[in-house]
């Protein structure tokens, strides 16, 4: 005797096709929100400005802007978030001044500094043993990297592009967030904890002869900032307008790919021009500025100066004075 349930099952089987017996694709997993994603704010307000700060040399730094943000505020925010910063651009544009104003001023966290060169060694960066001339005993002398980790402050590497990449490789794990510094040159030192106040802030001129910066190192910097001269600031600081105009025009040529000019006066040269003009007269300041240009650019710099200073020439020592 056939039951109603059996009759219903037979009807369902009769309605099936061959495709119903093929394996079905697995259902996609439920969508989940990515971890650690921060909301993107397209119109995030500018960081609160820091304002003018005094550098260790006693000079007042006047802040500039980076997009909507003040430069000092951005550098301090990068420090709070432990984001490494690379400043690059021609010498004399205020890269080191900006870093010192952000970190080495009275209300900053502090700063350790190393000046890069082709001769810099790992010992110069980390530290080494030194001998006491009296007792002849050796003791450990921490280098700027060691001191920066001990003090929990940023490490400034000035002219970083001149340092051999193999020397800078010691920074890679620390910049990636590894929590300790191991100093193999002194096995007696325990691993040092790298705390939240440590970061690397570097400055370089990528066009200087011998400059090299590995992609492995560059990729570890969160902020890559091109630093140029603040021409209006130069005027406010008393540099004659004619000198600023010449420098600004030359700098525009320097940045063009189709121009062979490789040098232009920046803020440092303009402030020197101001001081020399006050002490020795404008004609001498113009000649000194022309002489400061690299030899292969000097003729074009002199030609540019003569458009505003008709008697511009290169400062040189010649015949007997008064004869």
Asked whether 138 and 130 are in contact (CB, 8 A), the reply is yes
Domain membership of residue 20 (yes or no) is: no
Please name the residues in contact with 3: beta carbons below 8 A apart, sequence gap of 6 or more. Answer: none
Examine the domain organization and report whether 211 and 143 are in the same domain: yes
SS3 at position 319:
coil
Asked whether 199 and 155 are in contact (CB, 8 A), the reply is yes
- Answer yes or no: is pLDDT of 13 > 70: no
Asked whether 267 and 230 are in contact (CB, 8 A), the reply is yes
Domain membership of residue 194 (yes or no) is: yes
Examine the domain organization and report whether 191 and 290 are in the same domain: no
Phi, psi of 304 (to 5 degrees): -65, -40
Domain membership of residue 29 (yes or no) is: no
Examine the domain organization and report whether 184 and 273 are in the same domain: no
d(CA 289, CA 272): 9
Domain membership of residue 268 (yes or no) is: yes
Domain membership of residue 123 (yes or no) is: yes
Phi, psi of 88 (to 5 degrees): -140, 155
pLDDT at residue 207 in the model:
87
DSSP letter string, 133-171: TTT--EEEEE-HHHHHHHHT--EEEETGGGS-HHHHGGG
d(CA 323, CA 321): 6
According to DSSP, residue 202 is labeled: E
> Strand 155-158 and strand 112-115: pairing?
parallel
* Nearest CA among 285, 201, 197, 204 for reference residue 240: 285
Examine the domain organization and report whether 147 and 287 are in the same domain: no
pLDDT at residue 322 in the model:
83
Please name the residues in contact with 203: beta carbons below 8 A apart, sequence gap of 6 or more. Answer: 86, 87, 88, 95, 96, 99, 156, 157, 158, 159, 160
Instruction: Name 181's bridge partners.
Output: 192
Asked whether 127 and 143 are in contact (CB, 8 A), the reply is yes
Q: Over the chain, what is the mean pLDDT? A: 90
26-30, 132-136, 166-170, 192-196: least confidently modelled range: 26-30
Which uninterrupted H or E stretch holds 299? Answer: helix 298-306
Examine the domain organization and report whether 107 and 208 are in the same domain: yes
Examine the domain organization and report whether 175 and 281 are in the same domain: no
Please name the residues in contact with 152: beta carbons below 8 A apart, sequence gap of 6 or more. Answer: 109, 195, 196, 197, 198
Examine the domain organization and report whether 60 and 104 are in the same domain: yes
Domain membership of residue 31 (yes or no) is: no
12-26, 103-117, 234-248, 287-301: least confidently modelled range: 12-26
Instruction: Give the whole-number percent of the chain exceeding pLDDT 90.
Output: 82
Please compute the mean of the pLDDT values over residues 62-83 and round it to a whole number.
Answer: 97
Which residue, of 196, 226, 256, is where some domain finishes? 226
Q: How many domains does the chain have?
A: 2
According to DSSP, residue 19 is labeled: G
Examine the domain organization and report whether 175 and 260 are in the same domain: no
Examine the domain organization and report whether 178 and 281 are in the same domain: no
pTM of the full predicted structure? Answer: 0.84
Confidence grade of residue 23 (pLDDT, cut at 50, 70, 90): very low
Q: Highest mean pLDDT range out of 95-99, 184-188, 317-321?
A: 95-99
d(CA 253, CA 260): 8
pLDDT digits (tens, 9 = 90+) for 138-195: 999 999 999 999 999 999 999 999 999 999 999 999 999 888 999 999 999 999 999 9
Q: Residue 209: which CATH number?
A: 3.40.50.300
Domain membership of residue 48 (yes or no) is: no
Confidence grade of residue 44 (pLDDT, cut at 50, 70, 90): confident
Examine the domain organization and report whether 291 and 174 are in the same domain: no
Domain membership of residue 45 (yes or no) is: no
Examine the domain organization and report whether 259 and 221 are in the same domain: no
pLDDT digits (tens, 9 = 90+) for 200-215: 999 999 988 889 999 9
pLDDT at residue 38 in the model:
59
* Boundaries of domain holding 276: 231-306
pLDDT at residue 40 in the model:
59
pLDDT at residue 37 in the model:
59
Examine the domain organization and report whether 69 and 185 are in the same domain: yes
d(CA 65, CA 83): 19
d(CA 241, CA 128): 50
Which uninterrupted H or E stretch holds 204? Answer: strand 200-204
- Answer yes or no: is pLDDT of 241 > 60: yes
């Amino acid at each position: 005797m056939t039951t109603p349930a059996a009759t219903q099952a037979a009807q369902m089987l009769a309605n099936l096709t061959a495709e119903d017996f093929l394996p079905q694709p697995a259902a996609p997993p439920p969508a989940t929100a990515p971890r650690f994603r921060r909301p993107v704010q397209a119109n995030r307000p500018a960081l609160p400005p820091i304002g003018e700060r005094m550098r260790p040399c006693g000079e007042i730094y006047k802040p500039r802007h980076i997009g909507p943000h003040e430069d000092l505020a951005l550098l301090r925010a990068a420090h709070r978030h432990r984001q490494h910063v690379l400043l690059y651009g021609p010498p004399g544009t205020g890269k080191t001044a900006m870093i010192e104003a952000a970190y080495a001023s009275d209300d900053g966290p502090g700063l350790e500094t190393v000046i890069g060169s082709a001769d810099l060694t790992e010992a110069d960066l980390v530290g080494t043993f030194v001998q006491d001339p009296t007792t002849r005993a050796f003791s450990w002398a921490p280098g700027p990297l060691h001191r920066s980790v001990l003090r929990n402050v940023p490490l400034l590497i000035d002219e970083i592009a001149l340092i051999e990449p193999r020397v800078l490789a010691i920074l890679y794990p620390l910049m990636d967030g590894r929590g300790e510094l191991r100093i193999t040159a002194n096995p007696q030192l325990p691993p040092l904890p790298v705390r939240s106040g440590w970061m690397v802030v570097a400055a370089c001129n990528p066009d200087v002869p011998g400059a090299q910066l590995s992609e492995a190192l560059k990729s570890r910097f969160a902020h890559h900032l091109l630093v140029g001269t603040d021409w209006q600031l130069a005027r406010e600081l008393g540099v004659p307008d004619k000198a600023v105009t010449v420098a600004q025009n030359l700098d525009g040529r320097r940045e063009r790919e189709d121009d062979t000019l490789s040098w232009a006066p920046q803020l440092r040269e303009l402030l020197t021009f101001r001081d020399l003009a006050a002490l020795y007269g404008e004609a001498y300041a113009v000649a000194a500025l022309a002489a400061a240009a690299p030899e292969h650019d000097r003729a074009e710099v002199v030609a540019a100066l003569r458009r505003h200073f008709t008697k511009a020439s290169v400062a040189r020592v010649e015949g007997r004075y008064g004869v």
